Protein backbone atom coordinates (compact mmCIF):
# COMPACT_ATOMS: atom_id res chain seq x y z
CA UNK A 1 0.00 0.00 0.00
CA UNK A 2 1.27 3.48 -0.88
CA UNK A 3 0.70 6.38 1.51
CA UNK A 4 1.05 10.17 1.28
CA UNK A 5 1.89 12.12 4.43
CA UNK A 6 1.76 15.84 5.22
CA UNK A 7 4.56 16.83 7.58
CA UNK A 8 5.24 19.86 9.78
CA UNK A 9 8.66 20.38 11.34
CA UNK A 10 10.91 22.83 13.12
CA UNK A 11 13.88 23.07 10.77
CA UNK A 12 16.14 24.63 13.41
CA UNK A 13 16.45 21.23 15.06
CA UNK A 14 17.58 19.27 11.96
CA UNK A 15 20.30 19.20 9.33
CA UNK A 16 17.72 19.61 6.58
CA UNK A 17 15.07 17.24 5.26
CA UNK A 18 17.21 14.79 3.29
CA UNK A 19 18.79 11.83 5.05
CA UNK A 20 22.52 12.27 5.80
CA UNK A 21 24.91 9.81 7.45
CA UNK A 22 25.36 10.42 11.20
CA UNK A 23 23.27 13.62 11.12
CA UNK A 24 19.78 14.25 12.49
CA UNK A 25 17.45 14.91 9.55
CA UNK A 26 13.69 14.93 9.05
CA UNK A 27 13.76 12.07 6.54
CA UNK A 28 16.01 10.01 8.77
CA UNK A 29 13.76 10.50 11.79
CA UNK A 30 10.58 9.58 9.90
CA UNK A 31 12.20 6.47 8.40
CA UNK A 32 13.38 5.43 11.88
CA UNK A 33 9.82 5.65 13.16
CA UNK A 34 8.31 3.85 10.17
CA UNK A 35 10.69 0.97 10.74
CA UNK A 36 9.41 0.65 14.31
CA UNK A 37 5.78 0.80 13.19
CA UNK A 38 6.02 -1.53 10.17
CA UNK A 39 8.90 -3.81 11.23
CA UNK A 40 10.55 -3.23 7.83
CA UNK A 41 13.03 -0.83 6.26
CA UNK A 42 11.12 2.02 4.65
CA UNK A 43 12.39 4.80 2.36
CA UNK A 44 10.27 7.91 2.02
CA UNK A 45 10.28 10.12 -1.07
CA UNK A 46 9.78 13.82 -0.35
CA UNK A 47 8.16 16.44 -2.55
CA UNK A 48 11.43 18.35 -2.26
CA UNK A 49 14.35 19.08 0.01
CA UNK A 50 14.55 21.80 2.59
CA UNK A 51 17.93 22.95 3.86
CA UNK A 52 19.16 23.07 7.42
CA UNK A 53 17.14 25.63 9.39
CA UNK A 54 14.21 25.78 6.95
CA UNK A 55 10.79 24.98 8.44
CA UNK A 56 7.73 23.27 6.97
CA UNK A 57 4.00 23.34 7.66
CA UNK A 58 3.01 21.06 4.77
CA UNK A 59 5.94 19.10 3.42
CA UNK A 60 4.73 16.04 1.56
CA UNK A 61 6.25 12.57 1.16
CA UNK A 62 5.16 9.12 0.05
CA UNK A 63 6.20 5.63 1.07
CA UNK A 64 5.05 2.05 0.63
CA UNK A 65 4.24 -0.60 3.23
CA UNK A 66 3.91 -4.32 2.54
CA UNK A 67 0.72 -4.47 4.62
CA UNK A 68 -2.24 -2.13 5.09
CA UNK A 69 -2.52 0.10 8.17
CA UNK A 70 -5.51 2.43 8.63
CA UNK A 71 -4.47 6.00 7.89
CA UNK A 72 -5.52 7.53 11.21
CA UNK A 73 -3.90 4.74 13.15
CA UNK A 74 -0.69 5.10 11.15
CA UNK A 75 -0.61 8.85 11.77
CA UNK A 76 -1.18 8.41 15.50
CA UNK A 77 1.46 5.70 15.77
CA UNK A 78 4.02 7.82 13.94
CA UNK A 79 3.31 10.92 16.03
CA UNK A 80 3.64 8.94 19.25
CA UNK A 81 7.19 7.93 18.29
CA UNK A 82 8.50 11.00 16.45
CA UNK A 83 10.64 13.74 17.93
CA UNK A 84 8.67 16.63 19.43
CA UNK A 85 9.76 18.85 16.52
CA UNK A 86 8.11 16.78 13.76
CA UNK A 87 4.37 16.22 13.38
CA UNK A 88 2.39 14.21 10.84
CA UNK A 89 -0.64 16.33 9.91
CA UNK A 90 -2.39 13.53 8.06
CA UNK A 91 -1.90 10.26 6.18
CA UNK A 92 -3.87 9.19 3.11
CA UNK A 93 -3.76 6.31 0.68
CA UNK A 94 -2.69 7.14 -2.88
CA UNK A 95 -2.53 5.37 -6.21
CA UNK A 96 0.43 3.08 -6.84
CA UNK A 97 1.63 5.40 -9.62
CA UNK A 98 1.66 8.48 -7.38
CA UNK A 99 4.98 10.23 -6.70
CA UNK A 100 5.28 13.01 -4.13
CA UNK A 101 7.88 14.91 -6.13
CA UNK A 102 6.99 14.31 -9.77
CA UNK A 103 3.23 14.76 -9.34
CA UNK A 104 3.58 18.09 -7.54
CA UNK A 105 2.02 20.95 -9.54
CA UNK A 106 2.99 23.90 -7.32
CA UNK A 107 4.51 24.91 -3.99
CA UNK A 108 4.10 27.86 -1.66
CA UNK A 109 6.90 29.25 0.46
CA UNK A 110 6.69 32.08 2.99
CA UNK A 111 9.56 34.10 4.39
CA UNK A 112 9.32 36.18 7.59
CA UNK A 113 11.55 39.15 8.32
CA UNK A 114 11.54 41.37 11.42
CA UNK A 115 12.13 45.08 10.78
CA UNK A 116 11.41 46.06 14.40
CA UNK A 117 13.42 45.49 17.57
CA UNK A 118 15.61 42.40 17.81
CA UNK A 119 13.67 39.44 19.19
CA UNK A 120 15.93 36.71 20.65
CA UNK A 121 12.99 34.36 21.31
CA UNK A 122 12.11 34.18 17.61
CA UNK A 123 15.65 34.20 16.27
CA UNK A 124 15.34 30.63 14.90
CA UNK A 125 11.97 31.40 13.28
CA UNK A 126 12.30 34.81 11.63
CA UNK A 127 15.13 36.83 10.12
CA UNK A 128 16.00 39.54 12.63
CA UNK A 129 16.90 42.19 10.06
CA UNK A 130 15.88 45.01 12.44
CA UNK A 131 16.05 47.86 9.92
CA UNK A 132 13.31 49.54 7.84
CA UNK A 133 12.67 48.47 4.25
CA UNK A 134 10.80 50.12 1.40
CA UNK A 135 7.94 47.71 0.70
CA UNK A 136 6.68 49.68 -2.31
CA UNK A 137 9.99 49.31 -4.12
CA UNK A 138 10.24 45.63 -3.21
CA UNK A 139 6.76 44.99 -4.64
CA UNK A 140 7.74 46.73 -7.86
CA UNK A 141 10.90 44.62 -8.11
CA UNK A 142 9.01 41.41 -7.34
CA UNK A 143 6.92 41.83 -10.50
CA UNK A 144 10.04 41.25 -12.61
CA UNK A 145 10.55 37.87 -10.93
CA UNK A 146 7.09 36.50 -11.77
CA UNK A 147 6.37 34.48 -14.89
CA UNK A 148 8.33 31.84 -16.78
CA UNK A 149 12.07 32.48 -16.55
CA UNK A 150 15.46 30.91 -16.13
CA UNK A 151 16.32 31.43 -12.45
CA UNK A 152 20.00 30.58 -12.83
CA UNK A 153 21.01 33.87 -11.16
CA UNK A 154 19.12 32.80 -8.03
CA UNK A 155 19.98 29.09 -7.81
CA UNK A 156 22.89 27.49 -5.98
CA UNK A 157 24.79 24.66 -7.67
CA UNK A 158 24.72 23.42 -11.22
CA UNK A 159 21.63 22.05 -12.95
CA UNK A 160 20.75 21.00 -16.48
CA UNK A 161 17.72 23.30 -16.42
CA UNK A 162 17.05 26.43 -14.36
CA UNK A 163 13.65 27.18 -15.88
CA UNK A 164 10.56 27.47 -13.73
CA UNK A 165 7.39 29.52 -13.25
CA UNK A 166 6.74 31.84 -10.32
CA UNK A 167 3.02 32.49 -10.38
CA UNK A 168 2.85 35.17 -7.70
CA UNK A 169 4.93 37.02 -5.13
CA UNK A 170 3.15 39.00 -2.42
CA UNK A 171 4.77 41.18 0.23
CA UNK A 172 2.87 42.33 3.31
CA UNK A 173 3.66 43.83 6.70
CA UNK A 174 2.04 43.40 10.10
CA UNK A 175 3.46 44.45 13.49
CA UNK A 176 6.98 44.99 12.11
CA UNK A 177 7.02 41.55 10.46
CA UNK A 178 7.32 41.52 6.67
CA UNK A 179 5.98 38.38 4.99
CA UNK A 180 7.13 37.38 1.51
CA UNK A 181 4.88 34.76 -0.11
CA UNK A 182 6.02 32.85 -3.20
CA UNK A 183 3.73 30.62 -5.28
CA UNK A 184 5.43 28.70 -8.09
CA UNK A 185 5.92 25.55 -10.08
CA UNK A 186 9.39 24.63 -8.80
CA UNK A 187 11.93 26.22 -6.49
CA UNK A 188 15.55 25.17 -6.70
CA UNK A 189 18.30 25.16 -4.08
CA UNK A 190 18.49 28.51 -2.22
CA UNK A 191 16.18 30.04 -4.85
CA UNK A 192 13.59 31.54 -2.48
CA UNK A 193 16.27 32.77 -0.07
CA UNK A 194 18.14 34.38 -2.96
CA UNK A 195 14.99 36.07 -4.25
CA UNK A 196 14.41 37.46 -0.76
CA UNK A 197 18.05 38.54 -0.63
CA UNK A 198 17.85 40.66 -3.78
CA UNK A 199 14.48 42.11 -2.72
CA UNK A 200 16.03 43.18 0.58
CA UNK A 201 18.72 45.05 -1.35
CA UNK A 202 15.95 46.85 -3.24
CA UNK A 203 14.12 47.60 0.00
CA UNK A 204 17.18 49.15 1.60
CA UNK A 205 17.80 51.26 -1.52
CA UNK A 206 21.08 49.57 -2.38
CA UNK A 207 19.80 48.81 -5.89
CA UNK A 208 16.82 49.92 -7.97
CA UNK A 209 13.99 47.53 -8.94
CA UNK A 210 15.17 47.42 -12.58
CA UNK A 211 18.42 45.75 -11.40
CA UNK A 212 16.36 42.70 -10.47
CA UNK A 213 15.24 42.38 -14.08
CA UNK A 214 18.83 42.83 -15.29
CA UNK A 215 20.06 40.14 -12.88
CA UNK A 216 17.40 37.72 -14.08
CA UNK A 217 18.37 38.32 -17.71
CA UNK A 218 22.12 38.13 -17.01
CA UNK A 219 21.68 34.73 -15.33
CA UNK A 220 24.27 35.63 -12.70
CA UNK A 221 24.50 37.68 -9.53
CA UNK A 222 25.63 40.96 -11.07
CA UNK A 223 24.52 43.15 -8.15
CA UNK A 224 26.09 41.20 -5.29
CA UNK A 225 22.97 40.28 -3.29
CA UNK A 226 23.42 38.01 -0.26
CA UNK A 227 21.36 34.86 0.40
CA UNK A 228 18.79 35.45 3.15
CA UNK A 229 19.19 33.24 6.26
CA UNK A 230 17.33 29.92 6.42
CA UNK A 231 15.56 30.70 9.71
CA UNK A 232 12.84 32.85 8.12
CA UNK A 233 11.79 30.36 5.45
CA UNK A 234 8.74 28.04 5.61
CA UNK A 235 7.41 25.52 3.10
CA UNK A 236 3.71 26.12 3.66
CA UNK A 237 1.96 24.17 0.89
CA UNK A 238 2.64 21.42 -1.63
CA UNK A 239 -0.15 21.07 -4.16
CA UNK A 240 -1.26 18.21 -6.41
CA UNK A 241 -3.94 17.96 -9.07
pLDDT of 241 over the 90 cut: no
Question: Domain limits at 54?
Answer: 2-93
Query: Do 170 and 146 belong to one domain?
Result: yes
10, 51, 83, 124: the catalytic one is: 51
Q: Are 220 and 204 in contact (CB under 8 A)?
A: no
What percent of the chain has a predicted confidence (pLDDT) above 70? Answer: 100
- Same structural domain, 61 and 118: no
**pLDDT over 90 at 41, yes or no:** yes
Length of the chain: 241
Does residue 122 share a domain with residue 89? Answer: no
The closest alpha carbon to 200, from 98, 150, 128, 105, belongs to 128
CA angle 20/22/23 to nearest 5° reads 60
Distance between first and last Cα of the chain? 20
Do 184 and 216 fall into the same domain? yes
Write the pLDDT tens digit of every residue in 157-213. 999 999 999 999 999 999 999 999 999 999 999 999 999 999 999 999 999 999 999
Mean pLDDT, residues 32-60: 96
- 51-81 pLDDT tens trace: 999 999 999 999 999 999 999 999 999 999 9
Task: For residue 51, indicate whether it is catalytic.
Answer: yes
Report if residue 38 sits inside a domain: yes
CATH of the domain at 164: 3.30.70.660
Do 121 and 228 reside in the same domain of the chain? yes
Amino acid sequence: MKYLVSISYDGSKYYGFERQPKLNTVQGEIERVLKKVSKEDITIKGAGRTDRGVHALDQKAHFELSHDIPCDGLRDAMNSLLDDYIYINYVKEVDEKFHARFDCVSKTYEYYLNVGEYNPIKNDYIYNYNKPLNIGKMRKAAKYLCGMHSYEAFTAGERENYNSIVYKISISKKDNIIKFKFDGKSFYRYMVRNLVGILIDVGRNKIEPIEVKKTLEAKKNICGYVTAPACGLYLTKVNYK
